[in-house]
């Protein structure tokens, strides 16, 4: 199957199928439904609920899941397809990304990443900054069947200021910016880049609002875009029906982004009560991305991290835990994305790993699953098509050998018996008798 890297066996059905005899967790916040099923015709759900009440066409293919859990496919709302496992993200004192191969090689590795993500349960992703215009090409290649992967929602490169998070040109050189970003300064420069992303086919825009522990010239508390620049990006993007995301770790940048009406705030490590209140008041949503701040430190030797790197990461991790727990208390609008990074292998089950951190930090498993499906779909403005198992939506679902809504550890990829996209089985594994 696809999960075994045999992409010549992509499908086991043609988009018309009955998935039956399972415990239904449909993502709508309702109670689990025993002895339930899902009817999918021509990629879309036509009926869902208790088996005895389903309207099932004659001669439909039937998949009996034997009491396992049926749930929506995961919506991974923050990932990076251009990055790959063998890529070391740390380069000396500048902590810079470096691409040692051509963009053509990057495209091949990205296609491999897409296949892995789909096989491990992510049926939809938001590619949150990629090399050049590669994310849009990946979306198109999946849609026309050239490569196998989830539904791709691309941002294009992150719009970064000079000296910002993804400005990795050395200080006294004007060579290619080897990163996932494009430099822009001032309202006019920012608007120009938003228009470039629109022209290239992006559905979302990503801004850089602070540096990070990996940045060459600015840290997580350095605000690198003004609120006026953020507002200009939001106004132009919304005019073109694009949403705006922002990398923002420091508290002041988070508040500026919320006031500017940025749709999604990524990371938000140092958000205080005022910042979280502003997020809700201004219609923004928070994506905590707990995974990288935990996983990098666990892979310190592989990543060649220094003691300073580890100290910075621990400060970010502690702040993330505190702000996430505060966001839970305040019922801050949130959604879930793992922020996949090399060389941690986060393309393989990263969403499930992020879900486990949510639960470890205090979230309920069922609440967490709903934020990895329905709420992430809302953040991508695709909740009319994906994120829950409801009539009219795509037949994107998982069959899980366990009860992940009770024990989040059951969401691990090895527990997924079936991954289905649009009613087509893209991964199947036999369960124990």
pTM for the full predicted model: 0.91
pLDDT at 94 over 50: no
Look at residue 14 in the predicted model and tell me its pLDDT.
67
Mean pLDDT score, 235-256 = 98
- What is the spatial distance between Cα 433 and Cα 117, in angstroms, rounded to a whole number? 27
Least confident of 24-33, 77-86, 203-212, 346-355: 77-86
- Which range among 86-90, 109-113, 300-304, 339-343 shows the weakest confidence by mean pLDDT? 86-90
Averaged confidence pLDDT in the chain? 88
pLDDT higher than threshold 50 for residue 10: no
User: Is it true that 2-73+387-428 and 74-379 share their CATH fold?
Assistant: no
Domain boundaries, the chain: 2-73+387-428, 74-379
Question: Which one, of 9, 22, 3, lies nearest residue 397 by Cα?
Answer: 22
Q: Can you tell me whether residue 160 is helix, strand or coil?
A: strand
Q: What letters, b where the CB count within 10 A reaches 16 and e where it falls short, cover 37-64? A: bbbbbebbbbbbbebeebeeeeeeeebe
For domain 74-379, give the CATH number: 3.20.20.140
Give the residue, 213 or 35, on which the prediction is more confident.
Answer: 35
Mean pLDDT within 278-306? 87
Q: Which pLDDT band holds residue 341 (cuts at 50, 70, 90)?
A: low
Residues 364, 236: Cα–Cα separation, whole Å: 38
Higher pLDDT pick, 216 / 194: 194
pLDDT per residue as tens digits for the range 401-421:
999 999 999 999 999 999 999
**Helix, strand or coil, per DSSP, at residue 28:** coil
Q: Give the residue from 204, 190, 282 showing the smallest Cα distance to 233.
A: 190
- Of the chain, the percentage scoring pLDDT greater than 70 comes to 85
pLDDT of residue 363: 98
The two tokens of residue 65 are 């899941």
What mean pLDDT comes out for the span 6-23? Answer: 70
Q: Which CATH superfamily is domain 2-73+387-428 in?
A: Urease, subunit C, domain 1 (2.30.40.10)
Q: How many helices (H) and strands (E) does the chain have?
A: 12, 17
The percent of residues above 90 in pLDDT, for the chain, comes to 71
Label residue 119 by pLDDT band (50, 70, 90): very high
């Amino acid at each position: 199957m696809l999960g075994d890297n045999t992409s010549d066996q992509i499908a086991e059905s043609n988009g018309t199928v009955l998935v039956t005899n399972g415990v239904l967790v449909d993502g709508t916040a309702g109670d689990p439904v025993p002895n339930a099923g899902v009817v999918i015709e021509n990629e879309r759900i036509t009926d869902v609920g208790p088996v005895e009440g389903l309207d099932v066409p004659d001669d439909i293919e039937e998949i009996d899941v034997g009491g396992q859990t049926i749930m929506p496919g995961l919506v991974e709302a923050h990932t990076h397809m251009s990055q790959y496992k063998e890529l070391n993200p740390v380069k000396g004192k500048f902590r810079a990304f470096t691409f040692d191969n051509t963009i053509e090689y990057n495209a091949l590795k990205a296609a491999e990443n897409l296949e892995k993500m789909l096989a491990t349960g992510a049926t939809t992703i938001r590619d949150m900054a990629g090399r050049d215009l590669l994310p849009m090409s990946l979306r198109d290649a999946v849609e026309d069947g050239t490569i196998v992967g989830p539904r791709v929602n691309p941002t294009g490169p992150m719009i970064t200021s000079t000296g910002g998070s993804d400005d990795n040109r050395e200080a006294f050189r004007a060579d290619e910016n080897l990163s996932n970003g494009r430099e822009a300064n001032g309202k006019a420069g920012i608007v120009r880049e938003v228009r470039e992303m629109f022209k290239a086919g992006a559905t979302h825009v990503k801004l850089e609002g602070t540096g990070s522990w990996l940045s060459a010239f600015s840290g997580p508390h350095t605000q690198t875009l003004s609120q006026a620049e953020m507002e200009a990006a939001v106004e132009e993007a919304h005019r073109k029906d694009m949403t705006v995301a922002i990398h923002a770790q420091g508290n002041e940048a988070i508040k500026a982004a919320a006031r500017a009406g940025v749709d999604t705030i990524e990371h938000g490590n140092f958000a205080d009560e005022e910042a979280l209140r502003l997020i809700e008041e201004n219609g923004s949503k928070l994506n905590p991305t707990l995974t990288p701040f935990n996983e990098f430190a666990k892979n310190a030797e592989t990543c060649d991290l220094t003691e300073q790197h580890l100290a910075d990461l621990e400060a970010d991790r502690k702040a993330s835990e505190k702000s996430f727990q505060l966001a839970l208390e305040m019922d801050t609008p949130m959604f879930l994305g793992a922020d996949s990074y090399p060389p941690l292998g986060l393309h393989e089950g990263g969403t499930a790993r992020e879900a486990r951190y949510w639960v470890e930090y205090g979230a309920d498993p069922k609440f967490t699953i709903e934020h990895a499906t329905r709420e992430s779909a809302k953040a991508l403005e695709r909740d009319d098509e994906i994120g829950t198992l409801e009539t009219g939506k795509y037949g994107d679902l998982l069959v899980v050998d366990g009860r992940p809504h009770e024990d989040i550890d059951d969401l691990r990829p090895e527990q997924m018996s079936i991954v289905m996209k649009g009613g087509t089985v893209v991964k199947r594994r036999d369960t124990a008798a």
